[in-house]
């Protein structure tokens, strides 16, 4: 990575990788040349300064990564370089997943959260919500969050050996689903402003997760945020 140029890979095994490439291709950050790269092999990954893991199906992405010999290189990459996971990508970057399929699922880890897959419900319960996002360009304009079988962040965990977690966006409490059995239902959510389950975007050092899909909008502000803050450190 030079001061003038950066190669940003998009893991291209399954899911919405083309949409991320499209936004990266038209992203303009003054004096910075951004080279987007589709990542399908360990050699591709080696050429990257940073990586985006798209939405899709986390179990399928992990399985294909294993078959491509990418699982271990990806785990190493996450420990050293900037990585952003959207939706399924966020699941892969988390340390713990509830509702994983029997026998568990392979994760890359890196972000100290526990989350629940499909915590907002099924495909037909997909929704969009305007989000106030801390740190984006043009902060008074809400970001349209597109949630498709999205995970719910259940708990942020503190780990003194890791960078602190910076919460970038929360969803309005009335939208919170009832997560798991016996948990709080939508109508009781009025007091949950500080509930970890309202968090839908966060940064931990060089790592970023969004439980929704910025790549499915025409808004490039999250890609801009990732490059400026996680890749170039602010
Ligand atoms: N839109 C998405 O990326 C959905 C994620 C999917 N529910 C998973 O578990 O991987």
With 60 as the cut, is the pLDDT of residue 189 above it?
A: no
pLDDT single digits (tens) 68-89: 999 999 999 999 999 999 999 9
Query: Angle between the 58-67 and 71-80 helix axes, to the nearest 10 degrees?
Result: 110
More confident position, 41 or 175: 41
| pLDDT bracket for residue 1 (50, 70, 90) | low
Query: Would you say the CB of residue 94 lies under 6 angstroms from ligand 1?
Result: no
Tokens 């939405």 map to which residue? 55
Query: Would you say the CB of residue 93 lies under 6 angstroms from ligand 1?
Result: no
Spans of all domains in the chain: 4-231
* DSSP-assigned beta bridge partners for residue 143: 131
Looking at 3.40.50.880, 1.10.150.120, 3.90.1150.10, 3.40.50.10490, the CATH number of the domain 4-231 comes to 3.40.50.880
CA of 91 to the centre of ligand 1 (A): 8
**pLDDT on residue 99:** 73
pLDDT single digits (tens) 127-153: 999 999 999 999 999 999 999 999 999
Query: Would you say the CB of residue 115 lies under 6 angstroms from ligand 1?
Result: no
The tokens for 48 are 């990257």
CB neighbour list of residue 28: distance below 8 Å, 6 or more residues apart: none
**pLDDT on residue 185:** 41
């Amino acid at each position: 990575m030079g001061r003038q140029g950066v190669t940003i890979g998009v893991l291209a095994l399954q899911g919405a990788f083309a949409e991320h490439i499209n936004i990266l291709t038209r992203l303009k950050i003054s004096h910075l040349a951004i080279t987007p790269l589709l990542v399908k092999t360990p050699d591709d990954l080696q050429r990257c300064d940073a990586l985006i893991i798209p939405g899709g199906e986390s179990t399928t992405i992990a399985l294909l990564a294993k078959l491509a010999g990418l699982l271990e290189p990806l785990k190493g990459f996450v420990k050293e370089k900037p990585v952003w996971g959207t939706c399924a990508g966020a699941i892969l970057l988390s340390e713990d997943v509830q509702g994983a399929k029997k026998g568990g699922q392979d994760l890359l880890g890196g972000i100290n959260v526990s989350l629940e897959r499909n915590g907002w419900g099924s495909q037909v319960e997909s929704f969009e919500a305007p989000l106030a996002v801390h740190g984006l360009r043009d902060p008074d304009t809400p970001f349209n969050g597109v949630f498709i079988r999205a995970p719910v962040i259940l708990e942020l965990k503190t780990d003194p050996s890791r960078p602190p977690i910076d919460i970038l966006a929360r969803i309005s409490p009335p939208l919170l689903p009832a997560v798991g059995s016996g948990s709080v239902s939508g109508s009781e959510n009025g007091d949950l402003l500080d509930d970890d389950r309202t968090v839908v975007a966060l940064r931990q050092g060089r790592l970023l997760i969004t439980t929704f899909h910025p790549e499915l909008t025409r808004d490039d502000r999250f890609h801009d945020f990732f490059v400026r803050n996680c890749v170039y450190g602010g």
